[in-house]
Structure 1
Amino acid sequence: MQPKRSLDEWLELIRRQDMPIFDQTVQRVITLSGDDRAPMSELAEVILRDPSMTARALKLANSIVYNPSASGINTITRAVIILGFNAVRNICLTLTLIDTLVKGAAKERLGRELGRAMHAAVQARALAAARGDKSPEEVFIATLLYRIGELAFWCFGGEHADRVEQLIFQKGLTQEQAQERVLGFRLSQLSRQLVSEWHISELLQEATQYPTRQDPRIQSVMLGQQIARCAEEQGWHSEAMESLFKKASKLTALPQDKAQTLLLQKAHAATNVATDFGAAFAAPHIPQPSAEIANQDGHSEPTSEACSAETPARDPALQSKILRELSAVLEGSTCSFNVIMELVLEGIFRGVGVDRVVFALTTPDKGAIKAKYALGPDGDEVSEHFAFTRPSQGQDVLFQTLDQKRPYLVDASARRTDDRIPERLTQLTKATTFMVAPIVVDNRSIGLFYADRSLTDRPLDAASFDDFKHFVHQASMGLTLASARRQQ
């Protein structure tokens, strides 16, 4: 076995791994969740930059766990509106966590540890919801990541993990005793250090530092952990579990029989949650009550039509669905600039099927334009550098679009002879062919949409251009309507 490492050395080892907290998408999601002023459209924008995350998040948004009414959710923006900011945030965090663990040494022990974490999180969320918690989703993620040190260790622990496993099964030591003998510390200490470094949520930090505090939210986290461990080690029909049923009854103010039924049902639901999140290897490790307990949570195939490919392909059916959602938004109370723009961006990106799409606003004097939103693999870079000033001489296709209030499809052959195309635009996007169209509100151009397929070198045909123009026209109509409502 390799030499014993200190706690600091283990922390450094895990820092060097591709752990989910260092993923760019997750970092941005966590930052937004800590900003009460961040619009929900920003969360949607971050997720949409990762096509794989978008597809899987929509699949989960349509699962029975998050969407029991089975009302179709076809866009990330709608998912945030319907499910809430925290629910979508936690879907992304959990997906990325499981992705990382599956890539590691997914041995038997990791499956058991992840199964316990998923089970505990589902139980804690149910307890929080039953007592009217302000954010059961925050309780879910705090419980899921409560033992992040254990999860990381079993994923990346190598020979040390093998030795701990041997001591547990061959010598009959407890998990904590085996950890101390092999590592010189308990993995719970590793969890506390990682949670403190990563600043995922205040509740998670408080739960790891003060697990006995008489706070109902912390109690939900800890009771979820206790239920999952007791079910694994002593079963559902033990005296210890009976005591936990009583605790759940007291915490939720439910009669004990109803609290017990709730926890038994959530044990069934936890296996579905694990599978939906891509952790099917962990689902068998979630202990199930006897078969006669009805699974009232049920399970059904997701109804999402999300495309799972890394590059969005043109999808007329998805375009129609997003346009219907846009119409519903315009008719309802959520008719706002950010929501309209996010739906149109998503419609162009996923429905028209482009590699990148940018929405840029003009300055008040119409002398410059600057990107406000950008979707695509290089969305951050494009958003930062997509800024152009009106040329002092000659014409520029971007400002010509604004001045003439008309769209353009600039193809590869035209680019070679067309001096209206800014050199900086070519350098930034590497696009040989692109589409551009103005946003016109109250007969004034306030900005424009730009889109291309240069990253995959796919052609932009007339049908795609028509689709693009239609979405931009809908954006203009929506913003004009929103403007009229504000003036009333």
Structure 2
Amino acid sequence: MNSTQAWVTYLSKVELPVLANTLRRIDELADNRNSTVNELANVILNDAQLTSQVLRLSNTVFYNQTRTQVSTVSRAITLIGFDAVKSMAISSLIVDSLLKRNDRPHLLRCLARAIHAAVQARCLMPKRNETALEEVFIGALLMNIGELAFWSCETEQATELEQRLRLDEPPAEAQKTVLHTTFPEITRGLVEAWSLGPFIRDVVAPGQANSPAASLVRHSVEMARLSEKGWRGAEMDKILESLAKDTGETPAVIRDQLKVNASEATRVAVSLGIPQVTALMPGNEDSPADSAARAPDMDAELQLHILRDLTHSLAERPDINEVCQLVIEGIHRAIGMQRVALLMSDRTGNTLTPRKLGGRGTDEWRDKFIIRKDGTGPLGSLLPHASCSIYQPGKASEGVDYDRWLGRVPALIGPLKANGRLVGLFYADNAAGDYVPSEQQLRAFGHFIQNAQLCLTLIASHQG
């Protein structure tokens, strides 16, 4: 492939046709206000994963200042607004479609940057109507869609470009050598091919921005890239001045605002189901240089909320299914673990197989993730000890062919017992997120599992 058009056609027709079509459908709805609520709700409801993501986002403070619980898509549209729900649907679609295909570090970094920039643009936007807020959010999220789409594909060119960038070759030159075009060119092509609308076309067009909003988006995206090296420095000062012009604030006010918004961005990433990218988002400038390998911050408020629900559940009449679902939810969302599984003894009593799964990339586990209780087989080393622990893979750790991370990455493991015998285990990892779970995460994991254990014990005592 040696031209922009060839890449645009390949990404649109071969690699990402479903994403291209769904984005087009959602975008067309916005142009035709008469169709609105029902059609948008239907597009979302057609996809179970998208529905749960949109409902999860609808209950975050970022979108829902009123804190009114939302449990249906049409309620979300009425309460939070058409544009906001459309914006959630687009963000969830982008994240899901790309990460389902790949989780190479370049893709994770680009996604982290896109989400950070989108949250910044929306928070910095001088207060206008809801449509304008969501427009800048999606504009910043999609400003590098060409690069995001490219890194989500397993192509020879992606591997070659990765190697060149590792050797510190200037990005634009490396792109021209390997792709015979550049990411901005591919982005412009995709914006046309996928009909992403006039605002995004303006954002990605060469030359001066045509509107203050487009200018704000461009500067937010540039700022998100620079912030990975800290909040200070000549380049950052320059971009702060540009953002100050875009918003009518002073650079000092903007700098303070950016740090607050950055922590909001990490919460949005967790709500989108990708806690592993929060480690790639900027911390404070005084954090150590290796902060990329740190576990993300946990959501203490959500943790308390779920623990409260668990206590309530146990007090009424314990239902093991409901309790375990809440525990999975807590480990995934409040502790920030990307993939979670509860495995229980099968009929033979010799193996543990999945009963409940949470997080992206766990579909294959349903039929294939098996741990033998005698500790043999490729995943025998995942058998839990007496209490919850952090699993650290050894040099010779065996993996499995259906999942490139299971058994090969650090994980949290906790046992479930009945009458002193192992009957189940909770497993949680961060797939490609390159860090060991923290002691704090382990403690919170232990709290959640105690509730599942308590439920089993209560049920056994009722039966007894």
| TM-score normalised by the chain length of structure 2 | 0.59
> Partners of 2:145 and 2:300 in 1: how far apart?
28
Structure 1 pair 141–300 and aligned structure 2 pair: CA distance change class (3 A): farther
The 5-angstrom pairing of residues 300-339 of structure 1 reads: 300-301=301-302
The 5-angstrom pairing of residues 364-375 of structure 1 reads: none
Query: Cα deviation per residue 1:41-80 (whole Å; 9 max; x = unaligned)?
Result: 3322332333332222111100122123322112212211
Q: CA RMSD in A?
A: 2.6
**What is the SS of the residue equivalent to 1:282?**
helix
Cα contact 2:4–2:189 (8 A) shared by 1: no
> Partners of 2:47 and 2:166 in 1: how far apart?
42
Residue number in structure 2 paired with 1:73:
70
Residue number in structure 2 paired with 1:123:
120
Cα contact 1:122–1:266 (8 A) shared by 2: yes
Cα contact 1:192–1:205 (8 A) shared by 2: yes
> Partners of 1:276 and 1:49 in 2: how far apart?
20
> Partners of 2:207 and 2:58 in 1: how far apart?
31
Cα contact 2:19–2:97 (8 A) shared by 1: no
Which of 256, 260, 264 is the matching residue for 1:261?
A: 256
The 5-angstrom pairing of residues 142-153 of structure 1 reads: 142-153=139-150
Residue number in structure 2 paired with 1:218:
214
Residue number in structure 1 paired with 2:415:
none
Query: Cα deviation per residue 1:195-237 (whole Å; 9 max; x = unaligned)?
Result: 01111221001111245225101111101111011112x4211
Residue number in structure 2 paired with 1:30:
27
Cα contact 2:24–2:195 (8 A) shared by 1: no
> Partners of 2:176 and 2:49 in 1: how far apart?
40
Cα contact 2:230–2:282 (8 A) shared by 1: yes
What amino acid maps onto 1:275 in structure 2?
V
Structure 1 pair 299–212 and aligned structure 2 pair: CA distance change class (3 A): farther
**What is the SS of the residue equivalent to 1:289?**
coil
Which of 281, 296, 320 is the matching residue for 1:286?
A: 281
Structure 1 pair 201–92 and aligned structure 2 pair: CA distance change class (3 A): same
Q: Tell me by how many angstroms 1:244 deviates.
A: 1.9
> Partners of 1:270 and 1:31 in 2: how far apart?
28
Unaligned runs of 5+ in 1: 293-297, 306-488
Cα contact 1:58–1:79 (8 A) shared by 2: yes
Q: Tell me by how many angstroms 1:250 deviates.
A: 2.1
Structure 1 pair 164–227 and aligned structure 2 pair: CA distance change class (3 A): same
What amino acid maps onto 2:252 in structure 1?
D
Cα contact 1:272–1:299 (8 A) shared by 2: no
Cα contact 2:2–2:181 (8 A) shared by 1: no
Residue number in structure 1 paired with 2:100:
103
**What is the SS of the residue equivalent to 1:64?**
coil
Structure 1 pair 182–42 and aligned structure 2 pair: CA distance change class (3 A): closer
Unaligned runs of 5+ in 2: 288-298, 310-464
> Partners of 1:187 and 1:48 in 2: how far apart?
33
Q: Tell me by how many angstroms 1:109 deviates.
A: 1.0
**What is the SS of the residue equivalent to 1:281?**
helix
Higher relative contact order (CA 8 A, sep 6+): 1
Cα contact 1:168–1:175 (8 A) shared by 2: yes
What amino acid maps onto 2:196 in structure 1?
I
Residue number in structure 1 paired with 2:233:
238
> Partners of 1:132 and 1:31 in 2: how far apart?
20
Q: Tell me by how many angstroms 1:263 deviates.
A: 1.1
Is the aligned partner of 1:88 residue 2:89? no
> Partners of 1:50 and 1:260 in 2: how far apart?
39
Which of 155, 172, 176 is the matching residue for 1:176?
A: 172
Structure 1 pair 76–300 and aligned structure 2 pair: CA distance change class (3 A): farther
Residue number in structure 2 paired with 1:227:
223
The 5-angstrom pairing of residues 441-460 of structure 1 reads: none
What amino acid maps onto 1:72 in structure 2?
Q
Cα contact 1:119–1:286 (8 A) shared by 2: yes
Cα contact 1:20–1:97 (8 A) shared by 2: no
Is the aligned partner of 1:21 residue 2:28? no
Structure 1 pair 207–27 and aligned structure 2 pair: CA distance change class (3 A): closer
> Partners of 1:261 and 1:227 in 2: how far apart?
14
> Partners of 1:200 and 1:7 in 2: how far apart?
18
Cα contact 1:126–1:266 (8 A) shared by 2: yes
Structure 1 pair 258–301 and aligned structure 2 pair: CA distance change class (3 A): same
> Partners of 1:211 and 1:300 in 2: how far apart?
45
> Partners of 2:129 and 2:183 in 1: how far apart?
32
> Partners of 2:241 and 2:128 in 1: how far apart?
15
Residue number in structure 1 paired with 2:157:
160
Q: Tell me by how many angstroms 1:130 deviates.
A: 4.6
What amino acid maps onto 2:91 in structure 1?
T
Structure 1 pair 291–130 and aligned structure 2 pair: CA distance change class (3 A): farther
Is the aligned partner of 1:200 residue 2:200? no
Structure 1 pair 283–229 and aligned structure 2 pair: CA distance change class (3 A): same
Cα contact 1:142–1:201 (8 A) shared by 2: no
Structure 1 pair 7–255 and aligned structure 2 pair: CA distance change class (3 A): closer
Residue number in structure 2 paired with 1:6:
3
Structure 1 pair 28–10 and aligned structure 2 pair: CA distance change class (3 A): closer
Query: Cα deviation per residue 1:243-295 (whole Å; 9 max; x = unaligned)?
Result: 22222222211233322211111111112211211222322221222479xxx
Paired residues, number = 295
Identity of aligned residues (%): 29
> Partners of 1:146 and 1:299 in 2: how far apart?
32
Residue number in structure 2 paired with 1:249:
244
Structure 1 pair 23–134 and aligned structure 2 pair: CA distance change class (3 A): closer
